[in-house]
């Protein structure tokens, strides 16, 4: 059967049975327990009755907890379940670390390009939180983040300055069951899939032309989540319907929109608009602000 066809009933059962989101008693973690690539693919399968999923952009941010920081990921999971989009960059000695910007100026007490420092040299700097306050936390490596994440959550690797071939080789060596790649086009997805046939993608797919390119590149629908833009647009409904027919979740990002509103109340008012829009996944800088909001389908 063509992998782009809607997965069979067995895969639907697997979504419910194998990929658990564990409620957290007070002080412990909400866990997304992915034990295999099959679990990972099934966890991202679309269902019209599934509650909206929240993704932490740059790993999420809370006062006192910096972006792209393992301690911040863990803090978020004490509040609610989430998976995390994170930003790998290369040091001068080819260690993959987490840092959104090409420089460390904004997020640490240091300055200069990440690529000008060795991993050991970067360890003397401390991370700043979203308000610019210095914390005791340090820049983590991607390998540290992956090892921490096992049995807890899913990591989505954005594209920064790490060559895709280098990243694929690194991930294939560790072989984590709970890591996926952001890709901006079908060519990138095909290249990674050729190196890892079970790779999972957060794929930029904002119109039917882009979606057709993924189909023509034979990217399995069961291994895709679609990033469709900053909101759900009425004139793109044929795209969303096509994706849903193939079992593909549609993700939007509020990082450039509602996340930039002045107050937490204003941010949440914006989030409610998107919750009602028909999206399946919302990526946000502030996943903790979704705690208590009704994410159920109507």
pLDDT tens, residue by residue, 65-81: 999 999 999 999 999 99
Secondary-structure percent of the chain, ordered helix, strand, coil, rounded to 5: 35, 20, 45
H or E element that contains 70: helix 70-77
Confidence of residue 11 (pLDDT cuts 50, 70, 90): very low
How would you label 26-46 residue by residue, b for 16+ Cβ within 10 Å and e otherwise? eeebbbbbbeebbbbbbbbbb
Judge contact between 33 and 151, C-beta under 8 A.
Answer: yes
> Distance (Å, rounded) from C-alpha 166 to C-alpha 240?
33
pLDDT attached to residue 23:
55
The 10 Å Cβ neighbour count of residue 263 is: 8
Confidence of residue 145 (pLDDT cuts 50, 70, 90): very high
Q: Which domains does the chain have, with CATH numbers?
A: 9-88+143-290 (3.20.20.190)
200-208: average pLDDT: 98
Q: What are the counts of helices (DSSP H) followed by strands (DSSP E) for the chain? A: 10, 12
Mean pLDDT of the chain: 92
């Amino acid at each position: 059967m063509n992998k782009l066809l809607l997965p069979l009933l067995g895969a639907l059962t697997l979504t419910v049975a194998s990929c658990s989101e564990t409620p957290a008693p007070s002080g412990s973690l909400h866990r997304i327990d992915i034990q295999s690539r099959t679990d990972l693919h099934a966890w991202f399968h679309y269902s019209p009755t599934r509650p909206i999923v929240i993704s932490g952009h740059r790993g999420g941010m809370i006062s006192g907890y910096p972006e792209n920081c393992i301690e911040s990921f863990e803090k978020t999971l004490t509040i609610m379940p989430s998976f995390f989009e994170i930003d790998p960059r290369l040091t001068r000695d080819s260690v993959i670390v987490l840092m959104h910007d090409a420089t460390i100026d904004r997020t640490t007490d240091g300055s200069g390009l990440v690529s000008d420092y060795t991993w050991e040299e970067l360890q003397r700097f401390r991370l700043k939180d979203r308000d610019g306050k210095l914390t005791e936390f340090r820049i983590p490596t991607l390998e540290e983040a992956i090892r921490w994440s096992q049995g807890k959550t899913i990591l989505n690797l954005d594209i920064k300055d790490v060559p895709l071939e280098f990243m694929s080789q690194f991930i294939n060596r560790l072989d984590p069951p709970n890591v996926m790649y952001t890709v901006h086009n079908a060519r990138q997805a095909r290249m990674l899939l050729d190196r890892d046939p079970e790779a999972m993608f957060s794929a930029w797919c904002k119109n039917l032309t882009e979606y057709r390119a993924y189909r023509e590149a034979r990217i399995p629908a069961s291994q895709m989540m679609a990033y469709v833009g900053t909101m759900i647009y009425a004139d793109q409904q044929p795209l969303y319907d096509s994706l849903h027919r193939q079992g593909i979740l549609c993700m939007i990002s509020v990082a450039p929109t509602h996340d930039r509103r002045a107050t937490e109340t204003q941010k949440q008012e914006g989030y409610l608009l998107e919750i009602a829009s028909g999206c399946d996944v919302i990526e946000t800088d502030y996943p903790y602000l979704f705690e208590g909001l009704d994410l159920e389908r109507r």
